[in-house]
Chain A
Amino acid sequence: MMSGYWGYYRTDGPKEVEDGIKTKSRRGTIGEKWWSKRWVAILESFKMGARLSRGRSYARKGQVISIDVKKGVVRSRVQGAQSKPYDIEIRFAQIAEGDWDRATEAMASKAVFAAKLLSGEMPADIEDAFTEAGTSLFPGKKDIKTKCTCPDWADPCKHIAAVYYLMAEKFDDDPFLIFELRGKTKEEIIEALRNRRISTLDEDDEVEAEDEVATYLNDIPLEGRLDEFWEFGGSMELVGPRPRPPEVANAILKRLGDAPFSIGDSNLASFLPRAYEVAGRAALDTAARSRYRDIGPDGSQDEDD
């Protein structure tokens, strides 16, 4: 670490961090999903000028040492040019309980909200539900109070911007985080939605628990299986491997959808179909060429002579 003491006076670069948190994207925008982009847009609305791009490069370099999200508060440590990292706190205005109630009510009125959230996606019209309740899920400028121990007079500074960018990537994977910043954890939201959903129902279905215990062969130690040491079990025929072409071409790629990476203008997934085609054909050829060819058309195993 050569920066050390001299680093204090130098303005051209922060001190290196060994295990810092880095953005996944090396270039271009940070945050892939619309809601993460929406989040970044808030930051960008602060008109920070050059601090913004410096914040972004901090995020990419890994200057952020830690991020800790608690209800409504993000605490972070960012390594700047000084030897000691700066402490950062970002506080978000909490949505009032009454507003939460109304927003949850609006969300519970359509299954799409819970369904999308639970499958890892922010529902497209989430904003409508909150607007209906007279509030907003995404914090506005005024809802955010930031603090940083750095000597920079500007607020937000580049350190805060770096944390902001990294948060955007966290949102990509977990849209519930935004709710947490505004005062409700994932569990609380799920429960609130469920309560709404069933609040209008009669109490007619009592549900009982039922225990079932299954033992598996796997749990028997090898010493206990001496009698059958050299044998194999009986369900092989049912497994009967049957190499065959897929029902729908590129089904896996279709299910995967776009990859979270682009190469130039093309999504990474767009380069893959050829691999499926070539490998699939080769496997079918191997099956057909196999010297004994005892993989019958119905999966039956025949003997050759």
Chain B
Amino acid sequence: MLPLTVPSSRGRQPIKSKPRPHSFSVPGEMLGEELAAIFGQTPSGIETITVRLPATKRGPLPSPWLVRDDTLLEQPSGLFPWSIETLTFDPYAALNLLLDLPVHPPHGIAFGSSLQFWILAARFSLEIVARGQFAPTVKDGSALWVPIIDEDDQNRLQMLSNDLPPSCLAFDGQSGSRRRSRSRWRDKDKLKPLQLVMSFINATVDALVRRSLIAEKIELKPSLSEQTSDKLPLQFLHALVNEDSLLEASIDELNAFSKKIQYWHTHLKPISPNSPFRTCFRLDAPSGQEEDGGIWQIRIFLQAKDDKSLLVPAEKVWKVRSDTATFLRRKIKNPQEILLADLGNASRISPQIEMCLQDARPSGIELGREEAYSFLRESAPLLEQNGFGVLLPSWWEKPGGRLGLKLRLIEPENEVDGDSPISRGLFGLKSIVNYDFEVALGDATLSEMEFRELIDLKVPLVRVRGEWVELPPDDIEAAIRFFEKKREEGRSEISLEEAIRLGLGAETIGGDLPVVKVEADGRIYDMLNRLSGKGEIEAVNVPTSFVGTLRDYQAKGLSWLSYLHNLGFGACLADDMGLGKTIELIAFLLHERAIEELSDPTLLICPMSVVGNWQRELERFGPSLKVMIHHGPDRLSEDDFEREAKHHDLVITTYATAQRDEDALSRISWHHVVLDEAQNIKNPAAKQTKAAKRLKAEQMIALTGTPVENHLSELWSIMDFLNPGYLGSAQRFHENFALPIEKYRDLDQAERLRRITQPFILRRLKSDPAIIRDLPDKVESRVYYYLTPEQASLYGAVVEDMLARIEYLEGIERRGLVLSALTKLKQICNHPALFLQDGSKLDGRSGKLTRLEEMLEEVIDGGDKALIFTQFAGMGVMLRHHIQEKLGREVLFLHGGTPKKKRDAMIRRFQSDGPNGPPIFILSLKAGGFGLNLTAANYVFHFDRWWNPAVENQATDRAFRIGQNKNVFVNKFVCMGTLEERIDKMIEDKKELAESVIGSGEAWLTELSSEELRDVLALSCEAIEK
């Protein structure tokens, strides 16, 4: 059943005995067609079922997200049975469908929460199977694969089922033709979410395992000669890999067989499932400096399951006299027997634990070095898998705690010309450095002599200068091989690019030995140190030409950009939205102009929707920069462009234009090429990506709030633009990183990738404590945008019409005309459809809406929540529907007509629901102005303006008030060259007057002369998107 509903006509009151069709359900046939068209899945049939769904006395209610007409959202008075048409799938096809769907649907499609829930549950099953957490068993005479749920998974399942949308419980498993009596409905209530989820996981795990075995025609059976014995085990193996899972045998035989299988499974039972504690083993390494290596020790504890740091030593357990004990305020029944049973189970896996059991009240055991090693290597992982707590010394799992190579990079001496790029401090990734190497074990460096001595000990754990280190035989072999190879080759060279990768990423070089450390001195040392984030980057002064002040982290961003520029490396500034990437870049451009006489201009490529914003921010913070916009039908062609561009500091163009005018842009050797919203080049095969990568510049810069949206290949593409070759070819990157990380979930490789890319990506999150300290609690910005041509022509017509008529009017009539024109203009700036009231499509017709969509997408990507204020209830309705459809997330809308009960419910949901609750709340300014507490939001958008700072602040304060623990980002939309910008500027200019002069709203505008009105309202040519 796909729980999708769309609004249609109202239904009638349900008659209790006979479920009526649900008036908001989509006819099965239609749903099937949609599904086939969008997801390519065809159902096996259509069935009518009875489901209990919320309704009022007047009829059924639609599911809340998909409603265009808000008034349909009433408070349900109860649950009533309704009959709805559903699509049926064979179970495996349904599972495939679930596994093929994204949790958040593509734009324009909405999923019911129950569908999202089952998508996640299906993925849970997929994870269980991938991890091999399943086992064969017998149930009701069938041979089945069942999931083996360990303790962590159990907790996750519990969380998952706590999240089960109640609507998932609405179906009682009967189709409409076979109705149940009322009493059976009540029985259904007793089906607990966890049971429901478990039965789903059970069924899907069996299906996944079974299907993959059938698909590969696997037979789990011995060769023919052995098939002479007892029939049932053989049948069992056969039924595990076949469509038909039934075993054929008498009830007795099956019972007996099943009992034996159950008994076999007891080894898998999570240890002490109902206890707040689990048994935990800690291995302590010898601390002293004893000649023989000293004594190793295992100690036994009870460990609190909810706080793994709380340990109760076994000694304490043996002192309990009663049946029940309380340790660390947690109650445990029969602690001694639980501990003993656990020890009994552990002793089956670990010979070391078996040794402990020779004591009457075991609390631990002393071990020799070999025994300790075998515990670390073999027993500990198995104990952990069986659900025991295992605490091992920190050096054991420390990366680089093993045998490896230490490289020493050597700064080239002033060679023949005495002026190599490196000695001048200019590196460039392709320059060459020499290196020496040493063998490193843990933190120590060994001479070859020392190394040979250690090898002769022939023990897997050695102590080098007081530190324990693992020395597995394979590593020793690799080291010997490496020594011999290098002895032949002598001193070696690598590119700086590779040196950086090695220094940051611990890859291997020439053989199997990992490079555990890269050392360097002089300038190379400084560089590596700074690149890895350890060394402070030299601060550059904020250029005096920068108008305004940079916050500390913004100044750091400036220094960082400048530092990478000096090294000749490309840089990706990936700060969160709202932290000021734009002004960091403006400061950097000014800085570059200040320190060097420059002739080369910088090229900035960005989406159309932010061109206006760049223009305004440049005017405000860097008015000394000569900026040229290259866009639209009137833009300069090749020769003119080249000449003109060279007289500017910055050329701004859009991605589309950059691709079209690649020839013109390539004529110039740019100082920087900057990509704003660099995720636009995430697809390496796209034309605009290729065009951007062909441009030549001294340094490439990428700005983005989301360096990786979906796939690692996007990161590769951005890095390939910034520092071509650093991450290798796309193919190699796919093999080394994308495949292991995305397909095999290789966390080590993910960490390695993070380390080697980290020097070139500066990403500050608004949740970083340092950023929070640095930012004011409330960050206000203006979002500048253009009108679309449609908006502009409507706008112009309204202004002309008003100016034409106003000459003949006076007094109240004149004021009325001005006010009505103002309203119309504001409506047009919002969206033509709001002005036209024609219910037409919204897409691509409003610059404001386009920008809002982009920004909301980032809000949602970051897991944040936003408030949107508008004065027009009609705009709210349109926004709600449009955003829900575009972003696939529920949007709440509160307006003057919302009843109190519903308002309270919306506020509660917005405030309390987690990341999957409604992330966006639209409020009409009037309704939202009073007393509401909406601190779950940390973004506020003023979609249109009240032009009364007091009113707007009051609205903003819904989010910015006591209880808010994040910085609040306030965005006010301003359309360039229209009344929005002019009035905004007037308010800014006379802030102190604001209260008295314009505090009362828009009335003051009606007092302006016709000429003044023309100045305020008329459209300037820059307002239009070309």
Contacts and interface: CB of A to CB of B under 8 A. Distances in A.
Interface of A: 19-28, 62, 108-112, 114-121, 172-173, 190, 194, 197-198, 201, 203-205, 207-212, 216-218, 221-223, 225-239, 241-252, 254-257, 259-266, 268, 271-272, 274-276, 278-284, 286-288, 290-298, 301-305
A229 B344 contact: no
Contacts of B124: 239, 241
Contacts of B156: 238-239
B886 to A, nearest CB: 11
Given A204-B319, A241-B123, A255-B268, A283 B194 contact: no
Contacts of B322: 207
A42 B712 CA distance: 68
7 contacts: A108-B360, A198-B320, A218-B193, A222-B170, A234-B914, A236-B914, A264-B229
Nearest to A110: B358
Interface of B: 52-54, 63-65, 75-76, 78-79, 99-104, 106-107, 112-114, 116-117, 120, 123-124, 126-127, 129-136, 145, 148, 156, 159-167, 169-170, 189, 192-194, 208-209, 211-213, 215-216, 218, 220-222, 225-234, 236-237, 240-241, 252-253, 256-257, 259-261, 263-268, 316, 318-322, 324-326, 329-331, 336-337, 340-345, 347-349, 354, 356-362, 381-382, 385-386, 709-712, 741-745, 747, 750, 860-861, 863, 888, 905, 908-909, 913-917
A243 B123 CA distance: 8
B130 A252 contact: no
Contacts of B117: 232
Contacts of B189: 221-222
B233 A268 contact: yes
Contact of A231 (B113, B261, B318): B113
Contacts of B129: 243, 279-280, 282-283
Give the residue among B124, B130, B135 with the most A Cβ atoms within 10 A.
B130
A105 to B, nearest CB: 10
B337 A237 contact: no
Give the residue among B52, B100, B103 with the most A Cβ atoms within 10 A.
B103
A26 B170 CA distance: 47
Given A110-B360, A115-B347, A246 B131 contact: yes
Given A222-B189, A234-B915, A255-B382, A263 B319 contact: no
A207 B325 contact: yes
A294 B104 contact: yes
Given A235-B914, A263-B226, A284-B744, A271 B237 contact: yes
A248 B354 contact: no
Given A28-B229, A230-B112, A278-B218, 10 more contacts: A22-B252, A26-B231, A207-B325, A210-B326, A210-B331, A229-B167, A245-B130, A260-B264, A262-B233, A263-B227
B1014 to A, nearest CB: 43
A108 B336 CA distance: 12
B127 A242 contact: yes
Contacts of A221: 189
Contact of B163 (A22, A232, A252): A232
A19 to B, nearest CB: 7
B320 A227 contact: no
Nearest to B710: A302
B381 A248 contact: yes
Give the residue among A242, A291, A292 with the most B Cβ atoms within 10 A.
A292
A256 B126 contact: no
Contact of B100 (A108, A197, A291): A291
B165 A231 contact: yes
Contacts of A237: 863, 914-916
A242 B744 CA distance: 10
B63 A230 contact: yes
A241 B126 contact: yes
Contacts of B212: 278-279, 281-283
B193 A243 contact: no
A275 B341 CA distance: 31
6 tightest Cβ-Cβ pairs between the two chains A and B:
A234-B914, A119-B344, A264-B226, A244-B745, A233-B163, A282-B212
Contacts of B227: 263-264
Contact of A257 (B54, B267, B914): B267
B104 A23 contact: no
B349 A218 contact: no
Contact of B263 (A198, A260, A291): A260
B163 A234 contact: yes
A275 B213 contact: yes
Given A226-B78, A239-B159, A264-B228, A286 B126 contact: yes
A223 B169 CA distance: 11
Contacts of A291: 100-102
Nearest to A17: B252
B52 A243 contact: no
Nearest to B116: A232
Given A275-B213, A288-B742, A223 B113 contact: no
A251 to B, nearest CB: 5
A120 B99 CA distance: 41
Contacts of A120: 266, 344
Contacts of B321: 198, 201, 203, 205, 207
Contact of A210 (B100, B260, B329): B329
Nearest to B324: A209
B858 to A, nearest CB: 11
A230 B64 contact: yes
B318 A26 contact: no
A62 B213 contact: no
Nearest to A245: B744
Given A228-B909, A294-B102, A233 B914 contact: yes
Contacts of A212: 331
A188 B233 CA distance: 37
Nearest to A108: B360
Nearest to A62: B252
A244 B127 contact: yes
B718 to A, nearest CB: 16
Nearest to A234: B914
Contacts of B148: 252
Contact of B268 (A197, A252, A301): A252
Nearest to B339: A115
A112 B358 contact: yes
A176 B863 CA distance: 56
B159 to A, nearest CB: 4
Contacts of B193: 217-218
B326 A293 contact: no
A231 B126 contact: no
B382 to A, nearest CB: 6
Given A207-B320, A209-B326, A263 B362 contact: no
Contact of A207 (B231, B326, B349, B362): B326
B220 A272 contact: yes
A111 B165 contact: no
Contacts of B99: 286, 290
Nearest to A257: B267
Given A225-B166, A243-B130, A256-B268, A235 B742 contact: no
Nearest to A288: B743
B949 to A, nearest CB: 36
B162 A110 contact: no
Contacts of B361: 111, 197
A222 B741 CA distance: 42
Nearest to B252: A22
B208 A279 contact: yes
Given A111-B361, A229-B54, A271-B221, A295 B123 contact: yes
Contacts of A118: 337, 340-341, 344
B1009 to A, nearest CB: 50
Given A255-B385, A255-B386, A283-B129, A232 B135 contact: no
Contact of A263 (B234, B381, B742): B234
A305 B101 CA distance: 13
Nearest to A238: B159
B113 A293 contact: no
